[in-house]
Copies of this chain bind each other. A is one copy, B any other.
Amino acid sequence: MRPCSGAVHYDDGTSVIPSHKNLRNRLLAALTPDLFDALCDQLEPVPLKPGEVLVRPGEPIRSVWFVESGIVSAIANTPEDRRIEIGLVGNEGFVGVPLLLGVDRTPHENLVQVDGTALRLTSAAFDEAVDRHAALRRLLLRYVHAFQIQTSQTALCNSSYNLEERLARWLTMCHDRIDGDEFPLTHEFLSIMLGVRRPGVTTTIHVLEGAGMIKARRSHIRIVDREKLQAAAGDSYGVAEAEYARIIEAALKDSSAADAHTGLWAEPDAAAGRPHIVRSPGDIGRSS
């Protein structure tokens, strides 16, 4: 197995050369080692800094990012600059979906929310890879569907769930995408994402905190009782996560290990060299 072109530096000071064995991105991990090898040389490990804009509205998308850690927001906006978050991307997905669909730019935006790392592929290399490898293309297109469902569920939540439920959903979704139980987050930022007033976020956070679900520090939120938090989200959480599990993860279990025909690898996590919590969205009731 060939090493990739650079090292990924983790928060704890360790760094690794990405290989199929220590991948944290679940899409890449689902590829067969052969297929991953074919991509490996072109994948460049890059840090994701909070506030960094990966995709700017109306400007050509130059790369795709397979998120290894951290969280990236997808944001819709209007000419008069109203904005709202329409989806989250963590290590279960990738940023740059329009390129896969043959579109070079989009009116939307991708913004790093929680810092981390990604494996970056130039648009040219990506185009070539999906053109050449049907298994890769098929897998990523399934992810497009999953993301479409996430967007739609966000739309539904924004209009028929109250702020408490939506905030609980959002925090639960973040929790799915990070290691550990705490992440940096200001009320101001949250208010933009959820499309509500900032003081509204403050008081709602107090409600969740009062119920013992979370613990808020300045610029940080820690998930204390994941189960309760998810219950507070109600049915606003779950549909999109179940769909991801069905079409990305369950599909892997169906195929035999390293099935040459599908090009997908059956048990990515079993081979993971770096220990990390396998945080499956929809893994309901997981204890922290």
User: Which A residues are within 8 Å of any B CB, using their own CB?
Assistant: 74, 76-80, 82-84, 86, 97-98, 100-103, 106-108, 138, 141-142, 144-145, 148-149, 151-156, 158-161, 195, 234-236, 238-239, 242-243, 247
The listed residue (B86, B107, B149) touching A107 by CB distance below 8 A is B149
Q: Which of these, B78, B160, B161, contacts A156 with CB under 8 Å?
A: B78
- For A86, what are the chain B residues with a Cβ–Cβ distance below 8 Å? 151-152, 155-156
| Least CB distance, A235 to chain B, in whole angstroms | 4
Which 8 pairs, one residue from A and one from B, show the smallest C-beta to C-beta distance? A155-B155, A158-B159, A78-B235, A76-B152, A159-B195, A101-B145, A76-B156, A101-B141
**In the bound complex, CA of A141 to CA of B144 (Å):** 11
Residues of B close to A155: CB separation below 8 A: 76, 84, 86, 151-152, 154-155, 158
When distances are taken between beta carbons in the complex, the residues of chain B under 8 Å from A76 are 152-153, 155-156
A238 to B106, alpha carbons, bound, how many Å?
Answer: 14
Besides the known contacts A102-B145, A154-B155, 19 further A-B residue pairs in the complex with CB atoms under 8 A apart: A76-B153, A76-B155, A78-B239, A79-B239, A80-B234, A82-B160, A86-B151, A86-B155, A86-B156, A102-B138, A102-B141, A103-B142, A107-B243, A144-B148, A148-B151, A155-B158, A158-B158, A159-B159, A160-B195
Q: In the complex, are the beta carbons of B236 and A78 less than 8 A apart?
A: yes
Q: How many copies does the complex hold?
A: 2
Q: Chain B residue with minimal CB distance to A238?
A: B79
Are A156 and B82 touching (Cβ within 8 A)?
yes
Q: Given A145-B98, A151-B151, is A235 in contact with B106 using a C-beta cutoff of 8 Å?
A: no
- List, in ascending order, chain B residues with CB within 8 A of A97's CB: 145, 148
A138 to chain B, nearest CB (A): 5
Query: CA separation between A88 and B144, bound complex, in Å?
Result: 19
